[in-house]
Chains A and B, each alone.
Chain A
């Protein structure tokens, strides 16, 4: 990765005219989006609107039928999850990302383990512990001990660890899949604080998929409404309201029923 100045406000990720068909089903019908460093984009929409398909194209899991993805302004081919990662794109899936039976620091370094010198290539637990501690402090996540098993943590703490892992592995474009779903207010507050801190750093672009309009408008800079594979509305978060978004969705439903 180049080390040229990556200041806040410059475009990190852009997708243009993304079409994705699965056989005769069109999941995405010409979707465009963009997000800048230090900015957070919320993608709202009901199940089946195409949010997840878009996310999977951005992580390299699916390839678009047509359309183009740009990273840092340059067209890129995200042929696989590994290729997307090489461009600094990392997705955090709720509850899928961590191994409950392993400690926090083992999870943070899973498949990127630090090894001791010597012929046996043994794990360097001490260094991994220390760096895990530092990585968590770096983004302001406090845990009693990095030796704790992830299974013993709350949903919010687990999500924070998963985000920390993505950031520690040098993610500069962070995709969050329903990070606040099924979370109490206190837990959600933990994650929202963490996201705010990441935004304040200015070097990370964040895209979040969500269901909850009010919550999304509160923490995102811009929101995008997706319906039946298309972007039907886009706005700065400050210039719209949950009521307005809801009205747009209702109007679409009525139109769909009439047509």
Chain B
């Protein structure tokens, strides 16, 4: 920090300097433990299997990571303001069908994509309306929407997949090129990181979740914050679904679902976002998503079967939470 200590200020108040000081400061950050875990995992899998850091495998890993991370960006904002969206995985599946139907009806593909995202935003708006105006907890609102949207998707698609519309350039940009999805995901992460840290919206989201009375007292429109984050999450979920459809080249009525939603939420939580609200980082969600993706891909390379994988994911989430809670206590002790 550049400003000098105030007259009469305590001498040991400033941050420690030097490499040890930097390391100390880094380790006190909420996402630090997860970053360490991610690095250790990458090193371990590279030693265990020389194919891990090859171009082909990196593409695969990046595809494991991208969609949950995009979804995590929305869920983190919702979790911070003490809400959740359980239906985002169903919006993920619905969006490509809305686009496909719109394109089928004659809309240019770009317009069809915009239409699909608009429908997703509308779903977020309806979730917000039911949660805020009718005072139904978002856990219940989105549980209802989860089933409702699945039904709508199956009805629109009649249960069949369809080819995605559009030429090769658009298809490549929108997800078919091996790294397209992860580039989009990193773009979303960058924007949302800035939104959370450097805008009033982010600050007010934290305030709403941290102390709703204080936020309202300060004049923050807490319902607007909640509503905006519901719309954001549904739209991001739909966007991730579109990318996935373009990558595969076809829409799938059973794509995403609760699995991708839980991966998104887990990414955020592993990355240090508090389920009880008021705290979290987008970077943590990215690293949490990387950990889950690397685990999934690494164990696939090792030949560990899917059943074992779920056991490991479950254990990883529990371990990350124990570590986070423990580190939070250390942080509190360090500051007091």
Contact = CB atoms under 8 A, between A and B. Distances in A.
Interface in A117-150: 120-123, 125, 129-130, 133, 137, 142, 144-145, 148-149
Contacts of B220: 110-111
A101 B278 contact: yes
Contact of A122 (B9, B199, B217): B199
Contact of A96 (B203, B214, B336): B214
B203 A98 contact: no
Contacts of A100: 210-211, 278
Given A98-B211, A99-B211, A152-B332, A142 B219 contact: no
A4 to B, nearest CB: 27
A151 interface: yes
A163 to B, nearest CB: 14
Contact of A102 (B6, B198, B207): B207
A98 B214 contact: yes
B308 interface: no
A109 to B, nearest CB: 9
Nearest to A144: B13
- Of A97, A129, A144, A149, the most chain B CB neighbours within 10 A belong to A144
Interface in A216-253: none
B23 interface: no
A63 B168 CA distance: 66
A82 B218 CA distance: 10
A110 B214 contact: yes
A20 interface: no
Contact of A133 (B3, B207, B209): B3
Interface residues of A, number: 33
Interface in A30-55: none
A154 B332 CA distance: 12
Given A101-B206, A101-B279, A111 B218 contact: yes
Given A110-B220, A113-B203, A152-B332, A142 B211 contact: no
A185 to B, nearest CB: 19
Nearest to B331: A152
B34 to A, nearest CB: 19
B206 A99 contact: yes
Interface in B182-230: 194, 197-200, 203-204, 206-207, 209-211, 213-215, 217-220
A193 B198 CA distance: 35
B213 A123 contact: no
A144 B211 contact: no
A172 interface: no
A93 B217 CA distance: 10
Interface string A193-204: 000000000000
B336 A152 contact: yes
Interface residues of B, number: 32
B305 interface: no
Contacts of A115: 200
Contact of A99 (B10, B14, B278, B332): B278
Contacts of B219: 82, 111
B200 A113 contact: yes
Nearest to A136: B6
A254 B206 CA distance: 51
Contacts of B279: 101
A36 to B, nearest CB: 27
A82 B221 CA distance: 13
Nearest to A97: B214
Given A113-B203, A137-B6, A99 B217 contact: no
Contacts of B204: 111
Contacts of A111: 200, 204, 207, 215, 218-220
A236 to B, nearest CB: 33
B8 interface: yes
B139 to A, nearest CB: 21
Interface in A130-184: 130, 133, 137, 142, 144-145, 148-149, 151-152, 154
B208 to A, nearest CB: 9
Given A96-B213, A111-B220, A148 B335 contact: yes
B214 A144 contact: no
Contact of B10 (A101, A123, A129, A144): A144
B217 to A, nearest CB: 7
A158 B93 CA distance: 47
The 4 closest A-B pairs by CB, nearest first: A144-B13, A152-B335, A99-B210, A101-B278
Interface of B: 1, 3, 6, 8-10, 13-14, 194, 197-200, 203-204, 206-207, 209-211, 213-215, 217-220, 278-279, 332, 335-336
Interface of A: 81-82, 93, 96-102, 106, 110-113, 115, 120-123, 125, 129-130, 133, 137, 142, 144-145, 148-149, 151-152, 154
18 contacts: A93-B217, A99-B206, A99-B207, A99-B210, A99-B214, A99-B278, A100-B278, A106-B203, A110-B214, A110-B215, A110-B218, A111-B204, A111-B207, A120-B194, A122-B199, A145-B1, A151-B332, A154-B336
Given A99-B207, A101-B279, A111-B218, 17 more contacts: A93-B217, A96-B211, A96-B213, A96-B214, A96-B217, A99-B206, A99-B210, A99-B278, A100-B210, A101-B209, A110-B214, A110-B215, A110-B220, A123-B200, A123-B203, A125-B198, A133-B6
